[in-house]
Structure 1
Amino acid sequence: MDAMMMNAMSKDMTVMDGMPAMDEAMMQTMQACMDACAACEQACTICSVQMMDGHGMDCAPACMNCADMCHAMMRTMMRMQGMTMTAMTAMLDACIEMCRMCMDACASHADMSPVCKMCADACQACIDACMAMKGAMAAA
């Protein structure tokens, strides 16, 4: 998401339903989390397609589910109005767990597939970004 979109969102982000107000640092953390989710979604999609094309790896279902979860997480962060702290935390936790499951599946044969290695790395980056977002929300 570009800076113009983030600036527009920040003007509307006030304390609502228990969610903290968005300051510049939290907006940057949210942007980093959305970027990591987007990268993970793309990597998981690539990995699932390649693995379904007969490469003999069994990570395709985990990759497809992770891609869907990352997409949902991004969309949730883009429309936080009406979101409660409890719901956002649950979404972040679900994204972290889905990424962890996919990362484990891909890491088990990353030495045989550079695509699986790329996917596992993207999942780890997404986990880190979601954890940082949870930390920023808790600190606010």
Structure 2
Amino acid sequence: MRMMMAGSMAQTMDMAAMQNLMEAASACEQACTMCSNSMMEMDGMARCAAMCSNCADMSNTMMRMMMRPAGMNATVMMASLEACKAMAQACMEECSSHADMSDTCRMCAMACSELVDACDAMMASMR
């Protein structure tokens, strides 16, 4: 995938950071979707389920934006990275509060944490 992207990406983008972000966003989307589905069945977990669904959607959107280099705008990309990071951080905090009672929440919190780190790395590479 890196080779495909390298041919069409602006020289200013850090390809390793982009690849890491796409992988972290994909993993987060999957973990959040699984967590949301699990939490929907549990009493009192509607907030967690909704937050995970939102984070899954945001993760997917971020990943897809990274796959469209021709449409990249630095200002929009930074705002999107900040929003993705904020959503992942909020979801991580929510799921961390349930991590002791649910392996799904624990894995979701870990995936969200990795996405936060990947967003930070991508933003740092763009500054």
TM-score range, shorter chain: over 0.9
Q: Counterpart of 1:63?
A: 52
Other structure's SS at 1:81 match: helix
Match of 1:43 among 27, 31, 44: 31
Q: Counterpart of 1:17?
A: none
Q: Distance in 2 between matches of 1:55 and 1:47?
A: 14
Amino acid at match of 2:67: M
Q: Counterpart of 1:86?
A: 75
CA apart distance, 1:87: 0.5
Q: Distance in 2 between matches of 1:136 and 1:98?
A: 21
- Whether 1:96 and 2:85 are equivalent positions in the alignment is yes
Other structure's SS at 1:109 match: coil
Identity of aligned residues (%): 52
| TM-score (norm. length: structure 1) | 0.85
Shift of the 118–48 alpha-carbon distance from structure 1 to 2, 3 Å rule, reads: same
- Whether 1:119 and 2:108 are equivalent positions in the alignment is yes
The alignment of Structure 1 onto Structure 2 pairs a total of residues equal to 126
CA apart distance, 1:52: 0.6
Q: Distance in 2 between matches of 1:93 and 1:133?
A: 10
| TM-score (norm. length: structure 2) | 0.93
Higher Cα Rg, which structure? 1
Q: Deviations over 1:78-101 (max 9, x none)?
A: 002131110000110010000011
